[in-house]
Amino acid sequence: VLALALLSAGCVSLDPTYQRPDAPVPATLPGAHGEANAVVSQWQQVMNDARLKSVVTMALNSNRDVQKAIADIDAARAQYGETRSSLFPTVDAELSHTRSRTLASGVATSDEANGAVSSFELDLFGRNQSLSRAARETWLASEFTAQNTRLTMVSELTTAWVTLAADNSNLALAKSTLESAANSLKIVKRQQEVGVAAATDVSEA
């Protein structure tokens, strides 16, 4: 009876049951599922500039924040595996092989496998289950953090690239306008020299 009570207690958790409150917004938004992952994992498909792709790839491969986020995923995954393993007993197995000679058939062999539970921690109040759930949530959170870090970097680099392209375009337009004004001034000066244009025309040009 005592053993049965202990085993039953092992299934009991004292963790408070979390009930998600009703959100004032819809539970799902149009296009919310999968789009962020698609942007992170397939961002190259939405970029047509080969130079921009190269810059983003180099940044993702060398950025410390991205590398730390990836390392956090590995650490959280390992921690989850370790805490989850505590929920199950450890089994030791042994395989033995014997060989003997008999008068009738010559040589006889036999194999024997033995297994035994070497250790098992009784989870009386659900502590191990709680730790396992917490480790899993940490692992999932690290996955989302890494995705957000990559997405933020891709977004910032793309914005900076577009801004730079716009600035270069505006600079080229300004240079073209300046050259056009200089040519107009030369023409008006020549017209003034031959008496076609007045001094006021030169100042206006």
Q: What is the pLDDT of residue 29?
A: 38
Residue 6 CA: distances (Å) to CA of 10, 123, 150: 6, 9, 48
* Domain assignments of the chain as residue spans, ordered by start: 47-204
- CB within 8 A of 137, min separation 6: which ones? none
> Residue 19's pLDDT is what?
53
Residue 47's pLDDT is what?
Answer: 74
- Specify the pLDDT at position 148: 84
- Please state the pTM of the whole predicted model: 0.45
pLDDT at residue number 87: 58
Which pLDDT tens digits describe the chain residue by residue (205 residues)?
A: 444 444 444 444 445 554 555 544 444 434 444 444 444 556 667 777 788 888 888 887 877 877 887 787 777 777 777 777 665 555 554 555 555 455 455 444 544 544 444 454 555 566 667 777 888 888 888 888 888 888 888 888 888 888 888 888 889 889 988 888 888 878 777 777 776 666 666 566 5
Q: How many whole angstroms separate alpha carbon 189 and alpha carbon 131?
A: 86
> So what's the pLDDT on residue 156?
86
Measured CA to CA, the distance from residue 132 to residue 53 in angstroms comes to 40
Q: Write out the CATH class of domain 47-204.
A: mainly alpha
User: Tell me, what's the pLDDT at 24?
Assistant: 46
Burial code (b: 16+ CB inside 10 Å, e: under 16) for 89-126 equals eeeeeeeeeeeeeeeeeeeeeeeeeeeeeeeeeebeeb
pLDDT at 50: 82
Name the one residue in this structure whose structure tokens are 């076609």: 196
* Token reading at 19: 């009930």
DSSP character for 34? S
pLDDT given for residue 40 in this prediction: 53
Rounded to whole angstroms, how far apart are CA atoms 93 and 99?
A: 20
Beta bridge partners of 112: 96
| Six-digit token string for 116 | 């035994």
